[in-house]
Structure 1
């Protein structure tokens, strides 16, 4: 049986506070040893993801900005698939809405609803760095958005409900991650994971898909895989908004839980 691993990054494979994946390194190394594809499926940008791809010496596809874009190394699959555009060494399947459109809609909501909204596009790299804890270089990469605007809303839950209605009424969608809201088009992690999983099945035959996340915006991905795992958030608790009984809740915050889940599966694998 072949396994394919899809994983969120922030708060899952990498620590919420330190941005380190060191606690997950034993499982990462074991996946590489067994030639099991490790596919990032995250709200991060292509530019941010490529840093981790290079550090971990990976050569697999990845999914950026909450399913906005699927980046496949050219020649990776023999199976044909629709290509929206090319980007460097990648064929790109675009599912998301263009960033400029998302920014325009968010500005319209902020103006008409008089909401206190601030997005990455409103901040320079230094301010993004201060807000996120990222270094300046990483903050610069986080601003290189293509299909998803990350933003904060200053307000209570009543204001949040109003914002959600405003976004949906304009034909767009949103997610709420560990740190930020995200406004996006008709895409989510689950749709992108399903497309990639089907490509693997055409190429390899029967595969078992594994998914790991920590927040509500990971739920579409978790519902799209055969073996879904939810790790504990930085407060030591599982996201209470995810109540699906089919999702396996793993003890361990972020990469600690991630390592435990993957090593548990591989221990039982032939």
Structure 2
């Protein structure tokens, strides 16, 4: 367990180092507050590091609460195309330009069909929120226009519109007490849904999380390449916890002045810097960039 910046570092085991030396690795990363700066969404030297990892055949899988529409724009900005996990495990998406198209997963040309089939999921979730939400104080992203989304996220108006194009979840801006959040979470659970806390919002969704989607991609990787990769996960918040705990190596970032999230793991690296520098610091430690 750990709580303060830089408190816990790690030494790689011989087996982990061998996997890294042989480039038999698969990286899963959160975006906001991990790969991207929390407030300005800045990238720092991340693009340079991503290209270097691509050159040595180590895929980086974006595993995020962002929407598929948002991730598509980020992929274009970075010129970096690999399978990605969106909306906290709600869907695995693969663009037509992807550098790896797992045989076991749907490919880019089928993606529009997947989107059409999933459009009702958000509506279904909101019907349940309508039913159980009376008496609690919160706002739904669904009810905001682009300017309101931009205000609450610091995104540009264009990116705010993309953030509201959700397929698998509904973000809530919680404005009530922590005690009432516990009560509301229990009601959500009784309806067969989940509530997870992210850096800005509480996300109501079906029974999925980042780790479930991660395991699907790991299985597809093993099927395509014939070996089990060393898995590395980077994250900073509660919705990343299961992803971090299910990876071989966890890199846990945090914001200055905030206690670092506690996870149960034996191989943990805690970068001293926040995102995006903490992301590149972690990759530098592992790969000697």
TM-score normalised to structure 1 length: 0.89
Partner of 1:52: 74
Q: Is the CA contact 1:96–1:185 (under 8 Å) kept in the aligned structure 2?
A: no
1:200 lines up with 2:201 in the alignment: no
Contact 2:92 2:213 in 1 (8 A): yes
- Asked if residue 243 in structure 1 is aligned to residue 263 in structure 2, the reply is yes
TM-score, length basis structure 2: 0.83
Q: Unpaired segments of 5 or more residues in structure 1?
A: none
The 1:159/1:244 distance shift into structure 2, 3 A limit, reads same
1:210 is displaced (CA, Å) by 1.1
Q: Is 1:12 paired with 2:34?
A: yes
Structure 2 CA distance for aligned equivalents of residues 237 and 97 of structure 1: 37
Helix, strand or coil at the partner of 1:243: coil
Aligned pairs (5 A) from 1:169-208:
169-206=190-227, 207-208=229-230
Structure 2 segments unaligned to the other structure (5+ residues): 1-21
CA contact (8 A) 1:7 1:212 kept: yes
Match of 1:33 among 55, 62, 70: 55
For 1:59-98, list aligned pairs within 5 A.
59-73=81-95, 76-77=100-101, 79-81=103-105, 86-88=110-112, 98=121
TM-superposed deviation, 1:86: 2.3
Q: How does 1:216-227 map to 2 (within 5 A)?
A: 216-227=238-249
**Counterpart-to-counterpart distance in 2, 1:36 and 1:192:** 18
Q: How far apart are the structure 2 equivalents of 1:29 and 1:191?
A: 27
| 1:48–1:138 contact (8 Å) kept in structure 2 | yes
Aligned partners of 2:201 and 2:59: how far apart in 1?
28
Partner of 1:164: 185
Q: In the comparison of the two structures, how many residue pairs are matched?
A: 261
Separation (CA, whole Å) in 1 of partners of 2:29 and 2:249: 12
Is this contact kept in 1: 2:241–2:263, CA < 8 A? no
CA distance in 2, matches of 1:82, 1:50: 16
In the alignment, is the contact (CA less than 8 A) between 2:27 and 2:61 conserved in 1?
yes
